[in-house]
């Protein structure tokens, strides 16, 4: 029996995106309690050639949204990429979750062999629906979500594995 493309993606995207929003709420509380400037956290990065926290969150959203849209054959929502605060990032995460929740299993299931082509700064990429999801989207999605979490943890926000994992989402 084949694994459902929808089941292995959309509910997990929602779970991790909502968890990331909750982690950001904990970072907000940390900043308020310690009287810290949240812009330090928003712009923090591990190394000068790495993306800052804000871009890690954006990328996490983008990978979830774009995978669902490309596989389902629907238009992805656009994001302004102008987030400057924790509230801005939580709004972006909420918009991404809202979109992913609109996708239905029948839009993704059976699309394993669908040709998906898109262009990145490094050039054109060609995938099947399944290889895009498994070999491109998942590694990128988890990389950026984990890096965002790690940046906050590194800065002293009291969060743990349960915060990263969040609560599983089951579609109605």
Q: Cβ of 91: how many Cβ atoms within 10 Å?
A: 14
Span 51-106, pLDDT tens digits: 999 999 999 999 999 999 999 999 999 999 999 999 999 999 999 999 999 999 99
Contact 132, 3 (CB under 8 A): no
Q: What is the separation, in whole angstroms, between the first and last Cα of the chain? A: 23
Span 42-57, pLDDT tens digits: 999 999 999 999 999 9
Span 119-139, pLDDT tens digits: 999 999 999 999 999 999 999
CA dihedral 88, 94, 97, 103 (to 10 degrees): -110
Name 91's Cβ contacts closer than 8 Å, sequence gap at least 6. 83
Task: State the chain's mean pLDDT as an integer.
Answer: 96
User: Which residues on adjacent β-strands are paired with residue 128?
Assistant: 115
User: Which residues on adjacent β-strands are paired with residue 84?
Assistant: none
Per-domain boundaries in the chain: 10-165
Which architecture, in CATH terms, is 10-165?
Answer: Up-down Bundle (1.20)
Is residue 2's pLDDT more than 80? no
SS3 120: strand
SS3 97: helix
Contact 76, 13 (CB under 8 A): no
């Amino acid at each position: 029996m084949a694994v459902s493309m929808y089941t292995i993606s959309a509910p997990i995207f929602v779970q991790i995106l909502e968890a990331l929003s909750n982690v950001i709420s904990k970072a907000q509380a940390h900043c308020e309690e310690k009287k810290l400037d949240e812009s330090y956290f928003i712009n923090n990065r591990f190394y000068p050639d790495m993306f800052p926290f804000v871009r890690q969150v954006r990328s996490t959203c983008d990978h979830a949204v774009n995978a669902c849209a490309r596989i389902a054959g629907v238009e992805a929502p656009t994001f302004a990429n102008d987030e400057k605060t924790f509230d801005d990032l939580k709004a972006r995460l909420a918009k991404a979750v809202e979109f992913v929740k609109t996708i239905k299993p029948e839009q993704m299931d059976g699309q394993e062999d669908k040709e998906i082509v898109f262009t990145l700064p490094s050039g054109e990429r060609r995938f099947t629906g399944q290889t895009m999801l498994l070999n491109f989207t998942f590694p990128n999605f988890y990389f950026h979500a984990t890096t965002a979490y790690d940046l906050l943890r590194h800065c002293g926000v009291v969060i743990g594995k349960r915060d990263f994992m969040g609560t599983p989402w089951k579609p109605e």
